[in-house]
Structure 1
Amino acid sequence: MRLIVFTDLDGSLLDHNSYSYDAAKPALDLLRNRDVPLILASSKTAAEIAPLRAELGFVHCPAIVENGAGLLPAHMSLNASSGEVSEYQRIRAALKQLPSGLQGLFVGFGDWSDREIATQTGLDLKKVILASKRFYSEPGLWRGDDGQRQEFETWLEKKGIKARQGGRYYTLSFGATKADQMRNIIDDLGWRDRPVLTIALGDAPNDIEMLEAADRAVIIKNPHGPTLPALSGEEAYPDHIIRTQKSGPQGWNEAIQKLFGQIYSNDAHRQTQNPKSQGD
């Protein structure tokens, strides 16, 4: 059986505060040793994800960027076509056209200086430059109430813009999701020789569609936000959707090792029961 892993970054593979993945290194080694593709799926930009992907040792895998609004192909350091840049500019232009009662309630990266972004994110200024190279989406913070937020989202939808809450930011884009890109990547792999099993890990509302689209889903404990509601099928198939007791990379590491133990144990059992399958 072929496996493919899709993972959120902040609050999942990366620690919410330090952005470290050290606690997940044993599970990352397991993926590399078994040649299992790891697809990073984040609200981060292509410029941010490209060096991280290389550092992790998965440059041969595509990555889902800016909350699913775009895709960073395998082996590519940065995708910066003029069309992609115009999407970001269209979002910023739409924000300037908001009705007066909604003006200023959403504050995004485009409203902050580099130092303000550094203060908001905890990133150093070098990484802030990468985070600001946005092609598809605009993350930010919401400062209004729930009623104003509904009005804001309704107004944006008329412009074709969707808003999704992540683990850290409220992000605007033209509607593609992590789950959309997940399906595209699986189709592009063209695996036909063996069954494909997908694993997805995430901690925030903007991960729900990706988690529900996977064969196995891992909800990483998020002490910095509300607990995710029960996913579709969670009660009926509790073994297919698990929730970690630990947060961030600690929970990520334990979940991957647990799932791999189950999956490869079951696969070995099937091979023993049907030796002919080894040569199929």
Structure 2
Amino acid sequence: MSKLVVFSDLDGTLLDHANYSFAPAQPALDALAARGIPLILATSKTAAEVAVLHEALSLGDWPAIVENGAGIYRPGSTAGDAAPYAALRAALDSLPPDLRAPFRGFGDMSDAEVAEITGLSPAAAALARQRQHSEPGLWQESDATQACFITALADRGIACRSGGRFLTLSHGRTKADGLREIAAELGAERTLALGDAPNDTDMLQAADLGVIVRNDHGPGIPPLPGEGQGTIRRTADPGPIGWNTAVLAILNDIKD
């Protein structure tokens, strides 16, 4: 059991937006490991993608929140259920053609296309397309048409959330749901969450302390309740540089 549990988004937060490196955050990562504080990844990435990063970060048996909260990755588990993803694709394909056509999800793309729009290698893009719970994609029409698209999917029980780059469809679970589930499982007394994009907002507000990492490549996160009280703070620097500074400062303040 651990008193403090840290939850972190990846792209643009712990990982550099341009090169996906976490190297600038290594001092804070080492400090967490030295104190035995669980680091729970919370990302839009798939379990297949997270497995690689989880090992690179030496996170042992700690679980991770995947596909924007729609699923939980547990190291060593081979269980996988593609039924939720199949249901998402069926709902998407049931839309009228004028609403369906402007949305290009990862399931509509090849590995090469996903690699091109994300900057991932073809091999990494293939892992990103191994989806079980959610469908990210690009919207290629007006905001007004997008609103109709979102409403039509909501009528079919599908939720839409805007992240740093993509509009993501899911069955409604969020990173905040994953945070609450894992925090209870680990017996957390305090939770710290870090993120940089609108899809992190619920998680930041669900944690005891939230850190908004500066985002220079997307819409970022608007002012949130709690910023005035200090339960939510912002970094001066973007990505893993800001992440590192924030985590070290909080660890200095918190006696675990």
Q: Does the pair score TM above 0.5?
A: yes
Question: Separation in 2 of the partners of 1:78 and 1:11?
Answer: 29
Question: Is 1:94 matched up with 2:95?
Answer: no
Which of 187, 203, 206 is equivalent to 2:199? Answer: 206
Please tell me whether Structure 1 or Structure 2 has the larger radius of gyration of its CA atoms. 1
Question: Separation in 2 of the partners of 1:37 and 1:77?
Answer: 19
Please give the per-residue CA displacement for 1:138-163, whole angstroms capped at 9, x wherever unaligned: 01111122211111111111111101
Matched position secondary structure for 2:20: coil
Question: Is 1:25 matched up with 2:16?
Answer: no
Q: CA RMSD in A?
A: 1.4
Which of 152, 155, 158 is equivalent to 2:152? Answer: 155
Residue 166 of structure 2 is matched in structure 1 by: 169
Question: Separation in 2 of the partners of 1:48 and 1:58?
Answer: 14
Checking the alignment, whether the CA contact within 8 Å between 2:164 and 2:198 is kept in structure 1 is yes
Question: Separation in 1 of the partners of 2:107 and 2:193?
Answer: 31
Checking the alignment, whether the CA contact within 8 Å between 1:51 and 1:77 is kept in structure 2 is no
Question: Separation in 2 of the partners of 1:225 and 1:201?
Answer: 16
Question: Separation in 2 of the partners of 1:131 and 1:113?
Answer: 11
Question: Is 1:229 matched up with 2:222?
Answer: yes
Question: Separation in 1 of the partners of 2:232 and 2:184?
Answer: 23
Residue 67 of structure 1 is matched in structure 2 by: 68
Deviates further, 102-111 or 250-259: 102-111
Displacement of 1:126: 1.4
Please give the per-residue CA displacement for 1:216-253, whole angstroms capped at 9, x wherever unaligned: 11000000112311112222x1x221111111101100
Which of 104, 107, 120 is equivalent to 2:104? Answer: 107
Question: Separation in 2 of the partners of 1:12 and 1:78?
Answer: 28
Deviates further, 47-56 or 100-109: 100-109
In structure 2, stretches of 5+ residues that fail to align are none
Deviates further, 94-103 or 10-19: 94-103
Checking the alignment, whether the CA contact within 8 Å between 1:43 and 1:66 is kept in structure 2 is yes
Which of 95, 113, 117 is equivalent to 1:116? Answer: 113
Checking the alignment, whether the CA contact within 8 Å between 1:65 and 1:72 is kept in structure 2 is yes
Checking the alignment, whether the CA contact within 8 Å between 2:83 and 2:132 is kept in structure 1 is yes
Checking the alignment, whether the CA contact within 8 Å between 1:47 and 1:78 is kept in structure 2 is no
Matched position secondary structure for 2:152: helix
Identity %: 51
Residue 262 of structure 1 is matched in structure 2 by: 253
2:191 is aligned with what amino acid?
A: T
1:160 is aligned with what amino acid?
A: G
Displacement of 1:78: 4.6
Structure 1 runs of 4+ aligned residues shifted over 3 Å read none
Question: Separation in 1 of the partners of 2:78 and 2:26?
Answer: 25
Question: Separation in 2 of the partners of 1:4 and 1:98?
Answer: 41
Matched position secondary structure for 1:101: helix
Aligned pair count reads: 255
Please give the per-residue CA displacement for 1:172-205, whole angstroms capped at 9, x wherever unaligned: 01000000011111111246xxxx1110000001
Question: Separation in 2 of the partners of 1:178 and 1:190?
Answer: 18
Residue 35 of structure 2 is matched in structure 1 by: 34
Checking the alignment, whether the CA contact within 8 Å between 2:198 and 2:220 is kept in structure 1 is no
Checking the alignment, whether the CA contact within 8 Å between 1:106 and 1:140 is kept in structure 2 is yes
Please give the per-residue CA displacement for 1:112-136, whole angstroms capped at 9, x wherever unaligned: 1111111111111211221111000
Question: Is 1:76 matched up with 2:86?
Answer: no
User: TM-score with structure 1 length normalisation?
Assistant: 0.88
User: TM-score with structure 2 length normalisation?
Assistant: 0.96
Matched position secondary structure for 2:234: strand
Question: Separation in 1 of the partners of 2:245 and 2:220?
Answer: 19
Question: Is 1:250 matched up with 2:251?
Answer: no
In structure 1, stretches of 5+ residues that fail to align are 268-280
Question: Separation in 2 of the partners of 1:203 and 1:255?
Answer: 13
1:207 is aligned with what amino acid?
A: D
